[in-house]
Structure 1
Amino acid sequence: MSQELISRSSDLKKLRYEGYQIQVKKGFALLGQVPYVNSNKEVKYGTLVTSLKLAGNKTTKPTNHVIHFIGDHPCNKDGSEISGIKHRSGNNKLTEGIIVNHSFSNKPPNGYNNYYDKFTRYIEIISAPAKSLNSDVTAKTYEIIDTEEDSVFNYYDTNSSRAEINQIAKKLEQQRVGIIGLGGTGSYVLDLVSKTPVKEIRVFDGDVFYQHNAFRSPGAPTNDLLEKKENKSKYFQSIYSNMHSNIVCYNEDVQAATLHKLENLDFVFICIDKGNIKKEIIEYLVEEDISFVDHGIGIEKVDESLIGIIRTTLGTSDKNDHIDDRISFADGNDDEYSTNIQIAELNALNATLGVIKWKKHIGFYQDLTKEYSTIYSINTGVINNDDEL
């Protein structure tokens, strides 16, 4: 009920997204970690408390301008009490678990329009002396707070709210994303995509997570975990489900008979080097009008150093005539550009380039050139963008 109330009330939701520690308990809104100066001229932190006027599961215009405070009486920087807001002092139990120490009064001519205005005005008054002593103090802590039930995240994305890009991130919310292959590149793709508010992530991999996988994937598994020889999909799902609540795990490789499990997806990351099935997957995605990125890495040893290329190729309903020229459909062992050499930073870069292409395609990032193919050459450091729309 508390989370639903906050998510439905624009004023409380705005406080939370801006980094304030707002919560609701038994009809009261509490905003913690408000910096103030005490009588000893020390910076301390207290909690503002106000009763709420509600209409169903939403807040309405406050009828009471008085606010309560848990902590010492806020003072000016010289240790004298801020008298202009003084109302009452003395412990007062508002309800079970909420005992306040003071109440303050500061009434605008027409009252407060909402609880955002009410809280921020009192914070401005109370925290001003603390800021004059230490300009770094703030009530915006951006600490982890349990999120509302209808979010795919298990806690608030305060990274987006802090950067004020929530509206841009919303472009990803309705996306259903598939990741085929959770080897070096695919596992990094999952790492990045799980940090976005996509509606669903489907992961496909029938292989076991072996010790060599640990050296080209994100994270640092223990010996005990490696000895379990878990399926890759299950292993990575258990990690990233700590953050994203809708990761659907398929402990199998995508085969011709299971292509239907890709249906209803909006975007697919292809991170496998098996050419025959890759061709069938891409043909299916094109037919079903599902956009995708295919990832490729080719590394080889030359003169005791490594050289090679990293490739990301986008395909959409608007453009897919370049696919045969860019993507090899030979199996990994038969492809002269494909070896078994994989290095974590190259896998991570390959994944990053693909995720950036996806986000540009969705409109998260501005896309002026609309390139569909990107190739990075390691030994020259050159990035070539081709196949513009």
Structure 2
Amino acid sequence: MPADREPEHNIPDTEPSGPFVYADTGIIRADIGHVAASLAGGTVAIVGAGGTGSVVLDLLCKTPVNRIIIIDGDRAEAHNAFRWPGAMALEDLSDSPFKVDYFARVYGRMHLGIEPFPEHLQPGNLAILDDVDFVFVCVDSIDARRFLIPELEKRNLAFIDAGLGLTLSDDQLIGLVRVTTSTPAARAHVHDKTRIPLFGSDDDDLYRSNIQVADLNMLAGVLAIIQYKQLRGFYHDSEAEYHTIYATDGNCIINQDRL
């Protein structure tokens, strides 16, 4: 290294920056602060901290949203750890923490505004949603959706519902990822075209017994976050689709229900 050249260090600024524990120096380097500002502020809720909800949280906590509310009444189990981003330590898993408490502790290292609610949403605790601006629905229960979707519509909240399904064909899995958006300006497609499953029974035996579909959880979470950033004006959106399907057997993404 030339004697007159200072060594480069990638040590982050330790001073808090907005909702972050340390400064987001990447925005400064890229000179896109005015674009990133479209993601700032507000309160976002993530309902369900499983394979998909955890990916949504992982990406959302790296945006300058003020508050992130995580809602899930389940405790962490081994199969969860195999679907979540990163690697859960054995000692953490042995303690059997509530999922949301674990995530609040881990992601609280980066984002200051994470609030865990270790409970399932039900009529008696809907006040959790009172100050929420946007909701990610990442649950694997039709009964939960049947209760939650009408409540979000009644509250005039925009939301994204992300889910996946599996079928077995000739000893091979076919995976389907679905991301459906609903806003006050566009809700009819959810019901008229049955885009979000609200009736019937859960058929999740294949999902629960296959931890090797974390890639599909990740894709569902990534597509949901991209859609969210389009709605916020961060990404340009020339299609304005409100329903997206990805199928593993054809390796294609189909966009429908354009606004």
Quick check: TM above 0.5?
Answer: yes
Aligned-partner residue type, residue 355 of structure 1:
I
When normalised by structure 1's length, the TM-score is 0.62
Q: What is the DSSP-based 3-state SS (H/G/I as helix, E as strand, rest coil) of the residue aligned with 2:20?
A: coil
- The answer to whether the Cα contact below 8 Å between 1:147 and 1:155 also exists between their aligned partners in 2 is yes
- The answer to whether the Cα contact below 8 Å between 1:274 and 1:330 also exists between their aligned partners in 2 is no
The gaps in structure 2 that reach 5 residues or longer are: none
Of structures 1 and 2, the one with the larger relative CO (CA 8 A, separation 6+) is 2
Hey, what's the Cα distance between the residues in 1 that align with 2:111 and 2:201? Answer: 32
Q: What is the DSSP-based 3-state SS (H/G/I as helix, E as strand, rest coil) of the residue aligned with 2:128?
A: helix
Residues 1:332 and 1:144: Cα distance change in structure 2 (over 3 Å): farther
Hey, what's the Cα distance between the residues in 1 that align with 2:88 and 2:22? Answer: 24
Measure how far apart 1:304 and its partner are: 2.2
Q: 2:197: which partner in 1?
A: 328
Residues 1:335 and 1:240: Cα distance change in structure 2 (over 3 Å): closer
Q: 1:164: which partner in 2?
A: 31
Residue 212 in 1 paired to residue 173 in 2? Answer: no
Q: 2:12: which partner in 1?
A: 144
Q: Extract structure 1 runs of 4+ deviating beyond 3 A.
A: none
Hey, what's the Cα distance between the residues in 1 that align with 2:165 and 2:100? Answer: 24
Residues 1:364 and 1:382: Cα distance change in structure 2 (over 3 Å): same
The gaps in structure 1 that reach 5 residues or longer are: 1-34, 46-136
Measure how far apart 1:265 and its partner are: 1.1
Measure how far apart 1:303 and its partner are: 1.6
Hey, what's the Cα distance between the residues in 1 that align with 2:69 and 2:200? Answer: 24
Q: 1:354: which partner in 2?
A: 224
Hey, what's the Cα distance between the residues in 2 that align with 1:353 and 1:243? Answer: 22
Measure how far apart 1:339 and its partner are: 4.1
Hey, what's the Cα distance between the residues in 2 that align with 1:237 and 1:362? Answer: 24
Measure how far apart 1:308 and its partner are: 2.1
Aligned-partner residue type, residue 204 of structure 1:
I
Measure how far apart 1:331 and its partner are: 6.2
User: How many residues were matched structurally?
Assistant: 255
Aligned-partner residue type, residue 147 of structure 1:
E
- The answer to whether the Cα contact below 8 Å between 1:204 and 1:249 also exists between their aligned partners in 2 is yes
Q: What is the DSSP-based 3-state SS (H/G/I as helix, E as strand, rest coil) of the residue aligned with 1:43?
A: coil
Hey, what's the Cα distance between the residues in 2 that align with 1:199 and 1:331? Answer: 37
Task: Please point out which of 104, 118, 127 is paired with 1:237.
Answer: 104
- Percent identical: 36
- The answer to whether the Cα contact below 8 Å between 1:300 and 1:307 also exists between their aligned partners in 2 is yes
Measure how far apart 1:226 and its partner are: 1.1
Q: What is the DSSP-based 3-state SS (H/G/I as helix, E as strand, rest coil) of the residue aligned with 1:279?
A: helix
Q: RMSD value over aligned CA atoms? A: 2.0
Hey, what's the Cα distance between the residues in 1 that align with 2:199 and 2:163? Answer: 12
Residues 1:185 and 1:371: Cα distance change in structure 2 (over 3 Å): same
Q: What is the DSSP-based 3-state SS (H/G/I as helix, E as strand, rest coil) of the residue aligned with 2:188?
A: coil
Q: 1:387: which partner in 2?
A: 257
Hey, what's the Cα distance between the residues in 2 that align with 1:298 and 1:322? Answer: 20
- The answer to whether the Cα contact below 8 Å between 2:179 and 2:245 also exists between their aligned partners in 1 is yes
When normalised by structure 2's length, the TM-score is 0.92
Measure how far apart 1:277 and its partner are: 2.6
Q: 1:43: which partner in 2?
A: 4
Residue 175 in 1 paired to residue 42 in 2? Answer: yes
Hey, what's the Cα distance between the residues in 1 that align with 2:84 and 2:203? Answer: 24
Richer in strand (by share): 1
Measure how far apart 1:142 and its partner are: 5.4
Aligned-partner residue type, residue 144 of structure 2:
I
Task: Please point out which of 134, 139, 152 is paired with 1:267.
Answer: 134
Measure how far apart 1:333 and its partner are: 2.6
